[in-house]
Amino acid sequence: MLNAYISGVGAYVPPRVVTNQALADEYGIDTTDEWIIQRTGIRERRFADAGVYTSDVAVPACEAAIENAGLRKQDIDLIIFATLSPDFHFPGSGVYLQKKLGLTEGENARFVPCLDIRNQCSGFVYGLGTAASMVRSGQHKHVLLVGAEIHSHAIDLTTRGRTVSTLFGDGAGAVVVSATDEDRGVRGWDLGADGRFANNLCLKIWDMSQKPYFRVNERDEGEIPVDMLWPYMEGKVVFRHAVQRMVETLMQSCMKHDLTKDDIDLFFFHQANLRINEYIANMIGLPPEKVPSNIERYGNTTAATIPLLLEEAVRTGKLERGMKIALVAFGSGFTWGSAIVDW
């Protein structure tokens, strides 16, 4: 039976560093470094320049993952793109990434299928399950999975929006999921969703119930109410459900594979809020050295957080072949998921 393993990892973050103090000094947000750190653990994040698309930050992450896997771009059979900040309303960002990777040009052009996943913070774990299924089926040998986000262009960088805007940053992380006959790889996953809370964390700018979905004024310009323009979040509700669902899905994955927490070498939690992850780790009894974190430097990059963390762990030698790891995520929808991987 074919197994699916992560053969390569890659990451990219924009060069511009925006500290907590810069949010106050440059953007005029009524906040402090101490206030943000105390509530989120975030010290800085990366912001992309104007004119940069989400598919643009995905390109270097994908190229690095393909190179790390020892492959050529033409070896990729399928692109899966997880994001909540697509380049446009449609088409999906996967096709833009395909073109920017050069897969549609030259004698060796490959018009590989492209799949976009819109599960927000859970997008990478949902994508990993999809990629592994494609590989296990024998349909594809190498699947490129990327989580990428440009949040800074679509958050309210004023005091009015500080409870959301202080959390997010831009970046991309990618992996290649490949076929192997060896006894290793993505062992399984657990996914879930609860649509009762869909409006507790949302951005309603594309409200298709409205006709037209943008109001047009007498100057033939579209008008968008402020409450629909920016992301909305009920923080306490999100915190409570994130803790509950991340613990539940992790326990489900462990039980499916007859594992205890001691069998797992590293836990890669979605980097939404350091306080959420610390709370979960304390509940379960995980030592800090088993729970890597980089939210302090990047903020919440949504679909990119887990692959960014994986790439960093590989690059620094913390994650080595033969380790057993758990991936856990929670996001808007509400959606959640976990996976067990023999690295």
pLDDT of res. 174? 98
273 is catalytic: no
Q: Which run of H or of E encompasses 29?
A: none
pLDDT score, position 311: 98
The beta-strand segments (E) located in the chain are 3-12, 17-19, 44-46, 78-82, 114-117, 142-149, 171-180, 185-193, 201-202, 215-216, 222-223, 232-233, 266-269, 324-331, 335-342
Per-residue pLDDT tens digits for 45-59: 999 999 999 999 999
Ordered structural domains, the chain, with CATH? 3-183 (3.40.47.10), 186-199+231-342 (3.40.47.10)
Q: What percent of the chain has pLDDT over 70?
A: 100
Torsion of CA 249, 252, 253, 258, to 10 degrees: 160
Q: For residue 102, what pLDDT is reported?
A: 96
Candidates 62, 114, 121, 254; catalytic one? 121
**pLDDT, tens digit, for every residue of 9-51?**
999 999 999 999 999 999 999 999 999 999 999 999 999 999 9
Catalytic residue among 140, 151, 241, 270: 270
Beta strands in 58-214 (DSSP E): 78-82, 114-117, 142-149, 171-180, 185-193, 201-202
User: Catalytic residue among 68, 273, 277, 300, which?
Assistant: 300
Average pLDDT for the chain: 95
The reported pLDDT for the residue numbered 223 is 86
Specify the pLDDT at position 185.
96
Is the bond into 334 cis (omega within 30 degrees of 0)? Answer: yes
**In the annotation, is 270 catalytic?**
yes
pLDDT at 264 over 80: yes
Look up 153 and say whether it is catalytic: no
Q: Work out the average pLDDT over 110-127.
A: 97
Would you give the end-to-end CA distance of the chain in angstroms?
18
- Specify which residues 82 forms β-bridges with: 117, 147
Q: What percent of the chain has pLDDT over 90?
A: 90
pLDDT at 222 exceeding the cut of 90: no
Per-residue pLDDT at 294 exceeds 90 = yes
pLDDT for 316-340, tens place per residue?
999 999 999 999 999 999 999 999 9
- Label residue 193 by pLDDT band (50, 70, 90): very high
What would the mean pLDDT of 166-184 be, rounded to a whole number? Answer: 97
